[in-house]
Amino acid sequence: MPEMPEVEVLARRLRPLLRGKRIRHIDVYRKKSLRPTASTEFQKKLSGATFADVSRRGKYLLFKLRPKTSGKEITVLGHLGMTGRMFIALKKERLPKHAAVVFDLGKHNFVYEDYRYFGRMSLDLAPIELLGPEPLSKEFTTTFLATGLKRSRQPVKVKLLDQSIAAGVGNIYASEALYRAGISPKLASNKVTGEQTTSLWCAIRETLRDAIRYGSTVPLKSMSGKSDTLFYYGGDGENRYSKRLRVYDRAGKPCFHCGTKIQRIAQAARSTFFCPHCQAL
């Protein structure tokens, strides 16, 4: 689920569903999913609190809550890792096998589940201090991007995953943005020209904006077919969105622009997809 557009769509979906809901009780099935916060502290601080807002920063979700007794607002940070999901379900519905934390909201549960447990929910806000600007905000300028790229010899695809460059860009959209910009993922960051920086800047923003729009218009369905898991992810499908991802997970398939076979390579132990013709070095 979890790159910036997916998290943004999730935040938008959760916001109206959680606002005003009071937490009766919290079940912690996986204490490590709250690291570094202790489960006792988490439960004590949040039991009786009311959700006031849900927002996003990079790939992190921010839950704002009003405490039970008057006091200052509480912020809970959420991260979905690779496989995290969050959704609202009727209490009578069976919990998923890998439910990590479940908030009792009365008639409904707010469920955080994550079968690989790379994600987390915590009261520690330190992670967001290290993030670079939001790529769709005015703080993210071509100059900022150029400066970030200039002092690295890493391949530009690898550098795009650095959250201090543009918060929220992940492995899928890094490949997608480079394809749109016509830049080889292997090009060293400090060799990216000024002109290329500008097209990359545009491509990052277009790619993310399009992905948010896609997620905002497509019905988010569950994999189980039961409750709405508020989940979306997927490459080529049979539906009208089949061209949403242009290179990611399309190794061996023809480039939509020139027909050349899309290539998959490994960079920093992660897959990169690109068109060797449209993104020549």
Between strands 108-114 and 120-122, the pairing is: unpaired
| Cross-strand bridge partners of residue 79 | 60, 120
The question of whether 94 is a catalytic residue gets the answer: no
- Of 229, 35, 211, nearest to 135 by C-alpha is 211
The question of whether 59 is a catalytic residue gets the answer: yes
- Neighbour count for residue 57 (Cβ, 10 Å): 18
C-beta separation of 183 from 192 below 8 A: yes
Q: How far is the C-alpha of 114 from the C-alpha of 85, rounded, in Å?
A: 6
Q: Which of 12, 15, 191, 270 is catalytic?
A: 270
Q: Is 250 in the site for DNA (CB under 7 A)?
A: no
Q: Footprint of DNA on residues 158-177 (CB under 7 A)?
A: 158, 161, 163, 170-172
Q: Is the dihedral of CA 149, 153, 154, 157 positive or negative?
A: positive
The question of whether 270 is a catalytic residue gets the answer: yes
Q: How far is the C-alpha of 145 from the C-alpha of 141, rounded, in Å?
A: 6
Q: How far is the C-alpha of 173 from the C-alpha of 179, rounded, in Å?
A: 10
Among the listed residues 151, 194, 195, 225, the single contact to DNA using CB under 7 A: 151
Question: Peptide bond preceding 219: is omega within 30 degrees of 0, i.e. cis?
Answer: no
Min separation Cβ 136 and DNA, Å: 16
Q: Which of 21, 59, 85, 246 is catalytic?
A: 59
Amino acid at residue number 110? F
Rounded to whole angstroms, what are the CA distances from 43 to 23, 71, 86? 10, 17, 18
- Neighbour count for residue 156 (Cβ, 10 Å): 26
Pattern 11-50, DNA, x by CB under 7 A = ---------------------x------------------
Comparison of 22 and 205: residue with beta carbon closer to DNA: 205
The question of whether 2 is a catalytic residue gets the answer: yes
Among the listed residues 62, 75, 95, 115, the single contact to DNA using CB under 7 A: 115
Rounded to whole angstroms, what are the CA distances from 85 to 44, 258, 262? 24, 37, 30
Q: Is 1 in the site for DNA (CB under 7 A)?
A: yes
Among the listed residues 13, 21, 45, 79, the single contact to DNA using CB under 7 A: 79
Q: Is 184 in the site for DNA (CB under 7 A)?
A: no
Q: Is 215 in the site for DNA (CB under 7 A)?
A: no
Among the listed residues 25, 44, 91, 116, the single contact to DNA using CB under 7 A: 116
Among the listed residues 92, 94, 97, 240, the single contact to DNA using CB under 7 A: 97
Min separation Cβ 58 and DNA, Å: 6
Applying CB under 7 A, the residues found at the interface with DNA are 1-3, 6, 32, 58-59, 79, 81-83, 97-98, 115-118, 127, 130, 151-154, 158, 161, 163, 170-172, 233, 266, 268-271
Please list the active-site residues. Answer: 2-3, 59, 270
